[in-house]
Structure 1
Amino acid sequence: MIFTRKGRGRFLDAVTGFETAVRERDGERSQQTLGQMEQHFGSAGDDQRAQAGPRLAALLPEVPPGPRALVAVMVGACVERGADARACATHVFDGLTEVLTAAGEFCERWAATGGGEFPDPNPAALDEATLQRVGQDTAVGWFTLQQWEMASVAMLNHPAVRTTLPPERRLGLLRALHAVQEASDHDFKCLRYALLVLDDEPLLALHRPTGTGYLLRMSGIGDNFQLHTLLADTLVGGGHIPGQAPSAQEAAVCRDAPGQVPTTGSFNLVTPGGEWVWNEGTPTDIPVVDGVRVLVLDPPPYQRGWPAGRFFPGMKGDLVLERVLDAEEARERLGQCLPPK
């Protein structure tokens, strides 16, 4: 579709109008210009979205809680189209923190007023009966949490955001999210996994059948399916251990190529204590031993296949081999590991 220069400029005009309306606390005009931003977003150029993202992010604290979630989603969409994620992330995470607090209060009030199955955390599911039961602010927190999840994941797709997110803030978000999930039995998996992603993280892989060991470094890996395929590509494909290596395409979609392709597992992933490390988990499930995560690679007990790819399509993943352990060091390390349970 071809848009005229005039049509393309309407998005930034709507952003400017929205900024003015919000700062003048003009609710009717804010709602109107928010609709215009949504209407013209698709016709805007990436350069305009790049300009709009930080402006809208800075405006988030001034937007009322309900529409604030929609604006956060739009900020995320701008970041996906080139806006500076670091310039937007702090404001988005501030909003996420507030929403998680409100959602936690929602869970407490829901339980205190009779409990029952939790409503779908979707704004369309919010009704007057729920507002009367738990209150406006807590209800908005619960029913907009999925939108804040979308916006936050868009920020966390970027390594510059993940590596500058203070550890205490990341831990605080994970704790608040865990409390909401425990109370509601609802899993906000995308947000949880995104907050758990490791960058520039050492990984010691010990291949039990050959008695060899490999020090690697991983970044941007969303789950252990992705890690499993990249391990096979690096170690089997690199000629270090025997087995069937993933194809070039299977490895590429786990790094930065789009799409998914079928693959077959090469290992059984095991902790030094003999516990299985499930592909469905994340690299944070791999225990740290003497300052480095240690993973034992055993033969697969059965053949297992899955679609190779990335849990987060917008997040680039990588696994790099840094050095091969000498025979004595590998033997010593493996001697400290228990057989698989």
Structure 2
Amino acid sequence: MIFRDRALPKAVDLLERALEGQDEALLNDAFHNLRDAMGESQPQTCAAAGPRLAALLPRTPMGAAAILAVMIGACVEHGADPAACAGPVFDRIEDALTNVAGFPALWDETVGGELPQRDHLALGEALGRIAEVTGGIDEATFAAVSAWMELPLWEMAAVTLLSYEPIRQAVQEEGSLVVLADAAAMGDADLKCLRYLLKMFDAEPLVVVHRPTGTAYRMRMSRIGDNFQLHTLLAHLLVGGGHVPGEAPPAAVVAAMRDAPLADPPPQATGSFNLAAADGSWIWNEGCPADIPVVDGERLLILDPPPYGRAWQATRFYPQIAGDLVLEKVLDRAEADAYLAKAAPARDRPSV
């Protein structure tokens, strides 16, 4: 075990030499050794390697940097200080999200047709198809193509680091990554793990109006990954708390949506409400709490009766993050009526 644990520091040493000498063959050897060594090393050895690898990331060429970022994330999962690793990783992620913006137009103007599936192993193939048309690959083209093909790796590394609350709060406060990720997404489902985590709230106030009973509640939500989780915890507090009629979620479902380890198989949750914005538009369970609009300085959520039966597995979108929803106050009738007056009539199911 001692000899195997020496393999990772030696692989990092080799990577340093490869980057200093700009030796491509040595760089390939270093990555091969890193991959093998990380799978065999003790957690404390991986933890020690994390900051060293992060310090090398700024000098690592495109095409290899995203793989190194994932390795740094693995080191953080094994105990490396996320604060010591985050800066270089997020600098390169911002570069990738900036560079990827030009890829769809580049592909359309050269190869044309459907965009290629993102896969870092197919980077060479994508570059080759463009080069057949253009006669060569310049630096900007390489940056755009590598960013597109490697974006899942960058997302994986980012999610690992953003799972740590101080890191997430610092990135959210700086703000640029939130904007870049939204701009880079090709539809609601694209980069979902990254975008939802960038928008995750910590101790965010929420006013909830239950339209059928005319009651309203002041709550606070923390670290809730998606609206399936929010919906389930709302049902626990309101139905389980005896505030509104319905069937409360079982204790195992509530625990799974808060902080319990993943169960196999996971328990089943059922829908108690239809979530809506104050303007009557639906807020989908597949979305995240940031989808709830702010009305007069507060996030306002309307609960209507469920239009049809819904069920889902009680699993957190981010299993590594414990979430919570707290009921702070049951509002009096006058307050509830004031919030209810801000709500447009319920809408029928939108066409999708």
- The CA deviation at 1:159 is 1.6
Contact preservation (8 Å) 2:94, 2:177: no
Moved more, 99-108 or 226-235: 99-108
Unaligned runs of 5+ in 1: none
- Report the Cα distance in structure 1 between the residues aligned to 2:189 and 2:322, rounded to whole angstroms: 27
- Three-state SS of the structure 2 residue aligned to 1:321 is strand
Kindly tell me: are residues 278 and 186 of structure 1, through their superposed partners in 2, closer, same or farther at Cα, counting changes over 3 Å?
closer
1:115 aligns to 2:112 (yes or no): yes
* Match of residue 10, structure 1, among 7, 10, 13: 7
Contact preservation (8 Å) 1:177, 1:192: no
Moved more, 6-15 or 145-154: 6-15
- Report the Cα distance in structure 2 between the residues aligned to 1:174 and 1:79, rounded to whole angstroms: 22
1:105 aligns to 2:102 (yes or no): yes
Contact preservation (8 Å) 2:178, 2:199: no
Q: Equivalences for 1:301-316 in 2 at 5 Å?
A: 301-316=307-322
- Report the Cα distance in structure 1 between the residues aligned to 2:108 and 2:243, rounded to whole angstroms: 55
- Report the Cα distance in structure 1 between the residues aligned to 2:217 and 2:82, rounded to whole angstroms: 34
Other-structure match for 2:268:
262
* Match of residue 217, structure 1, among 204, 215, 220: 220
Contact preservation (8 Å) 2:97, 2:181: no
- Report the Cα distance in structure 2 between the residues aligned to 1:320 and 1:120, rounded to whole angstroms: 41
Other-structure match for 2:41:
44
Kindly tell me: are residues 40 and 276 of structure 1, through their superposed partners in 2, closer, same or farther at Cα, counting changes over 3 Å?
same
- What's the TM-score, normalizing by structure 1? 0.91
- Report the Cα distance in structure 1 between the residues aligned to 2:25 and 2:276, rounded to whole angstroms: 58
- Report the Cα distance in structure 1 between the residues aligned to 2:20 and 2:330, rounded to whole angstroms: 59
Contact preservation (8 Å) 2:8, 2:37: yes
Q: Deviations over 1:195-223 (max 9, x none)?
A: 22222211111112222221111122221
Unaligned runs of 5+ in 2: 348-352
Other-structure match for 1:288:
294
> How many pairs were matched up?
334
Kindly tell me: are residues 236 and 167 of structure 1, through their superposed partners in 2, closer, same or farther at Cα, counting changes over 3 Å?
farther
Q: Equivalences for 1:167-178 in 2 at 5 Å?
A: 167-178=174-185
1:199 aligns to 2:202 (yes or no): yes
* Match of residue 153, structure 2, among 131, 147, 156: 147
Other-structure match for 1:32:
29
- The CA deviation at 1:57 is 1.6
1:130 aligns to 2:129 (yes or no): yes
- Report the Cα distance in structure 2 between the residues aligned to 1:171 and 1:86, rounded to whole angstroms: 19
Moved more, 227-236 or 169-178: 169-178
- Report the Cα distance in structure 1 between the residues aligned to 2:324 and 2:17, rounded to whole angstroms: 43
Moved more, 245-254 or 82-91: 82-91
- Three-state SS of the structure 2 residue aligned to 1:37 is helix
- Report the Cα distance in structure 1 between the residues aligned to 2:26 and 2:11, rounded to whole angstroms: 11
- Counterpart AA for 2:31: L
Q: Deviations over 1:103-156 (max 9, x none)?
A: 222222112225211111102223152351573332212111111111111112
Kindly tell me: are residues 138 and 272 of structure 1, through their superposed partners in 2, closer, same or farther at Cα, counting changes over 3 Å?
closer
- Counterpart AA for 1:29: L
- Report the Cα distance in structure 2 between the residues aligned to 1:266 and 1:67, rounded to whole angstroms: 47
Other-structure match for 2:350:
none
- Counterpart AA for 1:249: A
- Three-state SS of the structure 1 residue aligned to 2:221 is strand
Moved more, 43-52 or 224-233: 43-52
- Three-state SS of the structure 2 residue aligned to 1:50 is helix
- Report the Cα distance in structure 1 between the residues aligned to 2:191 and 2:217, rounded to whole angstroms: 34
- Report the Cα distance in structure 2 between the residues aligned to 1:246 and 1:14, rounded to whole angstroms: 50
Q: Deviations over 1:174-214 (max 9, x none)?
A: 34424xx26xx982322222222222211111112222221
- Report the Cα distance in structure 2 between the residues aligned to 1:86 and 1:322, rounded to whole angstroms: 33
Kindly tell me: are residues 297 and 120 of structure 1, through their superposed partners in 2, closer, same or farther at Cα, counting changes over 3 Å?
same
The two structures, once aligned, show a CA RMSD in angstroms of 2.1
- Three-state SS of the structure 2 residue aligned to 1:230 is helix
Percent identity, aligned pairs only, is 47
- What's the TM-score, normalizing by structure 2? 0.88
Moved more, 262-271 or 111-120: 111-120
